[in-house]
Structure 1
Amino acid sequence: MADASSNMIDLSPEVLAAAEESRAWPFEEAKKIVARYKGKNYPETVLFETGYGPSGLPHIGTFGEVARTTMVLHAFRVLTQDKVKTRLLCFSDDMDGMRKIPENVPDQKALEPYLHMPLTVVPNPFGGDSKSFGDHNNAMLCRFLDTFGFDYEFASATEYYKSGRFDAVLLRAVECYDQIMAVMLPTLGPERQATYSPFLPISPKSGRVLYVPMKAVDAKAGTITFDDEDGEETTLSVTGGRVKLQWKPDFGMRWAALGVDFEMFGKDHQTNAVIYDRICTILGGHAPEHFVYELFLDDKGQKISKSKGNGLSIDEWLTYAPTESLGLYMFQRPRQAKKLFFDVIPKAVDEYYSFLSAYPRQEWKERLGNPVWHMHDGNPPVVDMPVSFALLLNLVSASNAQNKDVLWGFISRHASGVTAQSHPELDGLVGYAIRYFDDFVKPTKVFRAPDDVERQALQALSDKLGTLAPGADSEAIQNASLNVARQIERYQDQTKKSPEGGPGVSGAFFQMIYQVLIGQERGPRFGSFAGLFGIPETRALIAKALAGELA
């Protein structure tokens, strides 16, 4: 079992003082748990839980729950000076019946005979070592969580139900059947009320999870009686994995059985949270502290779904960016709905390294609000990233680079002493940039031919660049380009002022450069791009555009 308390954390007076004042959301949530036990003794272990429904392949939203919960757990350890043992449990509801066949699995027809059977009984359609569909999806989740270095314990509903770990609370649920029904029935329509039961028996004959009304509930015997699919009256004990609970009562039962102190969930659960809490209380538990986060959306603004496979998978993000960029995306604005698709990746990458660069210069109050402090358990690494991801993407575009060596030729010339060996993180980013460009940027590139004014502007820019010293830095290149634009009426911005007091430069000038030279709507700072690409190479690119070789 992984124990989160085994990791050393910084408990210096400066950190503790900043933590008490911090308004970063992980600290705000951790303070709720501290208040939960104010005036009381902490339990042997404060339990943080995350839930996973393996009805479809894991997506980043699932990972996000673990990442964010880990951040709250670390903040709690700091606030309690690491004197309280903590535990993170990732719980998979893999005993749930497969109500529909996911759209993103191979050979969907082969799974049809297993509809409504527990996910850990449905055969694994993907091949490999996992015996069932549920086992396969659980393994995919754990593989990533292990890769990212999370300190957690995985739990399977199937194992917990069948091993008897829930038996005592399930027997309590039989005793409190009427109370549970009194909570649930008002939330249902008339038709559903007539057949609803919080208990879902597993048919001894078909193996399917049954949604059937109860004919009898015997608190003394701990049994339920119902009609099986063939109409035969059947009585089962609620213990030993013969029966599971409907998902809403199951939340409350699990919290009561395990003594969960904190669990976050998506906004789609928000209206049900009061139901989970009430059932937990009925079963003798103390409902945990909650944190409700907004849902992730795909590129069309639709909620991402495991069964549909829309949005991004964990593996897809990691094909194009380092894991840290994903951690940052999870930290930022968790209560705000965010698009989770490929075009968010470059910004997340560059923002991560920007926060990392700022961290050493910050006071402790700012550090504890910096995402990298929370992402790295208070110990962010020291990484020198001399070239941004956005700049690398434009360099790939301009140079048509197909391998790392080509890009490193430009980088090493631009940044003296910077090599793949001295900067392994940058070397990794170079590989990501090539893959991202090939798959997402290149297919959408649309070059356009310059009009007469733009041709004159580009020629003037090339001529001006030709007057610069061979080793001119990015600032000199940027200033030279601004001086060219200020002389052209189309690109003058009267709302801005140049250092000499004349008109400033409109952003349309640089947008034109990227549209004509790179085939994109926008790019990083032109001086930085041309400095990295090289002045002769930039002039040659302009010449190609003027000769009609790009559009």
Structure 2
Amino acid sequence: MTDTAPQHSAPDRAPRRGRGKKEKQAEVDWVARLADEVIETAHGRDPDRTIVCASGLSPSGPIHLGNLREVMVPHLVADEIARRGIAVEHIVSWDDYDRFRKVPAGVEGIDDSWAQHIGKPLTSVPAPRGSEQPNWAEHFKAAMTESLARMGVEFRGIGQTAQYTSGAYRDQVLHAMDRRHEIDDVLAQYRTKVDAPDAGDAARVAEGSEGADDTEAQAAAAEGSGAASEEDGGSAAGYFPYKPYSKAFGTDATRVVSYDDETTELTYIATGPNGEQVTETMRLDSDFHGKLVWKVDWPMRWAYEGVDFEPSGVDHQSPGSSYVVGGQLVGPIFGGHQPIGPMYAFVGIAGQAKMSSSRGGVPTPADAMRIMEPAVLRWLYTRRRPNQSFSVAFDAEIQRLYDEWDALGRKVRTSAAQPGDLAMHARAIGTAAGELPSTPVPVPYRALASVADITGGDPDQTLRIVSGMVGDDVELTHLDQLRPRLDCAATWVRTQMPEEDRTRVRETPDLELLASLEPHRREALEMLSQRLTDDWSLDGLTTLVYGVPKLQAGFEVGEKKLPPEVKAAQRELFALLYRLLVGKDTGPRLPTLLLCLEPEKVRSLITP
């Protein structure tokens, strides 16, 4: 939900369970711990007010998976508060009145001509060619808004262009200018220090954490809006915490030279694209084409919106950076309070995301939800504490990730589930407003990927094969029962699976290999061929391929305790079957591969 009236409360449909039972559990359930802290602090000030959790996004380009953490941490905390029946709202400040800093790489529909707009507000920059949106900011806001809706994230959007140009912040701007010398004194404490880590420093902060090896993704995430390293308003003419956009050129290539406290007249020199300069004036009580510098703007908004909780990245939390300085300005200058603001770590990418058109190759939430269900993406941001780095898998790791997700789902349906498991799963599959859409028949992702790989996505073949995977207790009549997971797995195969990993079933048998086999290998293949159709299902074929070496060694098929030589014989049979079926030493899980082929096709390839 965006740009609508605030939603102050939500029904307590999924109460949090088990809080405080174990010290370990308190560590796992970071969402509940933060919600406790926010409620205690906010209601300690005023028990009747609506709690405000905030995020800030700059639509300067594709809003990527690193930026998503800026939204998900406040969302999860706000949602937990709502589940308890407490009035809360999540606001997202769209920093669309920020300057256009550079032309991002890899964005379709733009070229170098967009460089002429550098320095203009993002809402004054044309949208990429072919966009239905009126400007650059709205183009990227629309994509993110759609993704957040799919993830069940409800919020009230606040466009900063509208806020500033409408005069909503008029009194706050005039107040900041009146108190500019006090603001300058605070900022002066840090001007000899390093303002904030650069992207390389930020990447090193996360070194050793999960996903920390993807420095390209981290550097792009660290860049953010660049706000932590912005100029703070100091100049040779004095300190002025306001940056005008020029009337002549429309950019922020301006330098304030004087301010009249009585008339609120601001005089500044504007520089044009060819170096030409003009002197302009504006009255801050009636002209609204400019904004407070970031380190003053942020604490002003904390006070204006009454923000109780807002996390930020490492670039905002070093000495002299915006969160630290803001904490020293928000109370004395604006009469507000600094929100609880934990630092969040980077989100990396596991594998090359070929589909991404994002700046620096960092994928967006929409990219991720082409290959994974929204609940799984929510889970990734739920299961790690904000200060823990993690990766979103675009490579084959996504199959293991889905195995873990399915295992969690099975666990929560049993008495073995811990309170943390239950809370984490509940937050992933839905919100206080209800559950997200889910796949009716959740067949393992790796199995669906194998089927899509081997069949090329043929719907009839897919339905036939997967019907043999789901068991007799499930009646699979159409592919919609497998969606959206099936479509996610098929998209992953089509867009992310390396060409060398694709499965190519042999057209003809490898007669030379078959002729070279020792008698016990031929016997194993013959036993397999004879029993193929005894139980043509995933479970039946799994039992068969593991069971043939057991039978050859004189064991029952169900025997669990096997000597090393039988386990070695199993591995050798698997490798042989892969070479005979796909011409490689490895491939999809053998039972899945066999199920994807007709029995006669298998027999034709494994027997002379």
Q: Give TM class, smaller chain.
A: 0.7 to 0.9
Alpha-carbon spacing, 1:12–1:335, altered in 2? closer, same or farther (3 Å): closer
Q: What is the CA deviation profile of residues 141-191 of structure 1, one whole-angstrom value per residue up to 9, with x for unaligned ones?
A: 222223333221111110011122222222221122122223334444699
SS of the residue 1:319 aligns to: coil
Q: What is the CA deviation profile of residues 498-532 of structure 1, one whole-angstrom value per residue up to 9, with x for unaligned ones?
A: 614555736965884696455788667544x2574
Does residue 199 (structure 1) correspond to residue 242 (structure 2)? The answer is yes
Structure 1 residues 388-397 or 305-314, which shifts more?
A: 305-314
Alpha-carbon spacing, 1:483–1:367, altered in 2? closer, same or farther (3 Å): closer
- Which of 72, 75, 93 matches 1:70? 75
CA contact (8 A) 1:52 1:62 kept: yes
| Structure 1 residue 25: Cα displacement | 1.5
CA contact (8 A) 1:158 1:241 kept: no
- Which of 35, 47, 50 matches 1:45? 50
1-structure distance, mates of 2:153, 2:81: 16
| Structure 1 residue 219: Cα displacement | 4.2
Output the aligned Cα RMSD: 4.1
Partner in structure 2 of residue 505 of structure 1 = 567
| Structure 1 residue 287: Cα displacement | 0.6
2-structure distance, mates of 1:455, 1:103: 55
Equivalent pairs, count: 531
Alpha-carbon spacing, 1:540–1:202, altered in 2? closer, same or farther (3 Å): farther
Structure 2 residue runs without a partner (length 5+): 195-230, 505-509, 554-558
CA contact (8 A) 1:311 1:341 kept: no
1-structure distance, mates of 2:484, 2:330: 47
Partner in structure 2 of residue 183 of structure 1 = 186
Q: What is the CA deviation profile of residues 100-159 of structure 1, one whole-angstrom value per residue up to 9, with x for unaligned ones?
A: 112233232332322211110111223343221112112222222233332211111100
2-structure distance, mates of 1:297, 1:188: 32
Does residue 94 (structure 1) correspond to residue 96 (structure 2)? The answer is yes
Amino acid across the alignment from 1:388? P
Q: What is the CA deviation profile of residues 69-110 of structure 1, one whole-angstrom value per residue up to 9, with x for unaligned ones?
A: 2211122234xx31x321111111111111211223323233
- Which of 105, 116, 123 matches 1:113? 116
Does residue 253 (structure 1) correspond to residue 258 (structure 2)? The answer is no
Which protein has the bigger helix share? 1
Partner in structure 2 of residue 432 of structure 1 = 488
Does residue 283 (structure 1) correspond to residue 334 (structure 2)? The answer is yes
Amino acid across the alignment from 1:505? K
Does residue 293 (structure 1) correspond to residue 344 (structure 2)? The answer is yes
Structure 1 residues 110-119 or 311-320, which shifts more?
A: 311-320
2-structure distance, mates of 1:513, 1:77: 57
Does residue 209 (structure 1) correspond to residue 252 (structure 2)? The answer is yes
Please list, as runs of the form range in 1=range in 2, the aligned pairs for 1:375-414 lying within 5 A after superposition: 375-377=429-431, 385=441, 387-398=443-454, 400-414=455-469
> Normalising by the residue count of structure 1, what TM-score does the alignment of the two structures yield?
0.82
Structure 1 residues 176-185 or 20-29, which shifts more?
A: 20-29
| Structure 1 residue 389: Cα displacement | 0.8
Structure 1 residue runs without a partner (length 5+): 490-496
> Normalising by the residue count of structure 2, what TM-score does the alignment of the two structures yield?
0.75
CA contact (8 A) 2:503 2:587 kept: no
| Structure 1 residue 236: Cα displacement | 2.7
Does residue 274 (structure 1) correspond to residue 337 (structure 2)? The answer is no
Q: What is the CA deviation profile of residues 338-357 of structure 1, one whole-angstrom value per residue up to 9, with x for unaligned ones?
A: 33452154444444343333
2-structure distance, mates of 1:341, 1:537: 37
Partner in structure 2 of residue 492 of structure 1 = none
Alpha-carbon spacing, 1:430–1:512, altered in 2? closer, same or farther (3 Å): same
CA contact (8 A) 1:203 1:228 kept: yes
Partner in structure 2 of residue 365 of structure 1 = 419
SS of the residue 2:484 aligns to: helix
Please list, as runs of the form range in 1=range in 2, the aligned pairs for 1:113-152 lying within 5 A after superposition: 113-152=116-155
2-structure distance, mates of 1:210, 1:8: 49
CA contact (8 A) 1:446 1:515 kept: no
Partner in structure 1 of residue 215 of structure 2 = none
Amino acid across the alignment from 1:205? A
Please list, as runs of the form range in 1=range in 2, the aligned pairs for 1:328-367 lying within 5 A after superposition: 328-333=379-384, 334-340=386-392, 342-343=394-395, 344-362=397-415, 365-367=419-421
CA contact (8 A) 1:267 1:293 kept: yes
Partner in structure 2 of residue 237 of structure 1 = 283
- Which of 458, 463, 485 matches 2:526? 463
2-structure distance, mates of 1:86, 1:523: 50
Amino acid across the alignment from 2:419? K
SS of the residue 1:499 aligns to: coil
2-structure distance, mates of 1:95, 1:231: 23
CA contact (8 A) 1:317 1:345 kept: no
Alpha-carbon spacing, 1:64–1:190, altered in 2? closer, same or farther (3 Å): closer
2-structure distance, mates of 1:259, 1:520: 62
2-structure distance, mates of 1:299, 1:207: 41
2-structure distance, mates of 1:510, 1:164: 75
Alpha-carbon spacing, 1:249–1:241, altered in 2? closer, same or farther (3 Å): same
Alpha-carbon spacing, 1:113–1:289, altered in 2? closer, same or farther (3 Å): same
SS of the residue 2:37 aligns to: helix
Alpha-carbon spacing, 1:260–1:538, altered in 2? closer, same or farther (3 Å): farther
Alpha-carbon spacing, 1:166–1:347, altered in 2? closer, same or farther (3 Å): farther
1-structure distance, mates of 2:400, 2:577: 18
1-structure distance, mates of 2:34, 2:294: 25
| Structure 1 residue 202: Cα displacement | 1.0
CA contact (8 A) 2:11 2:82 kept: no
Identity %: 20
Alpha-carbon spacing, 1:38–1:463, altered in 2? closer, same or farther (3 Å): same
CA contact (8 A) 1:261 1:289 kept: yes
Partner in structure 2 of residue 160 of structure 1 = 163
Alpha-carbon spacing, 1:466–1:451, altered in 2? closer, same or farther (3 Å): closer
Partner in structure 1 of residue 220 of structure 2 = none
Identify the structure with bigger relative contact order (alpha carbons < 8 Å, sequence gap 6+): 2
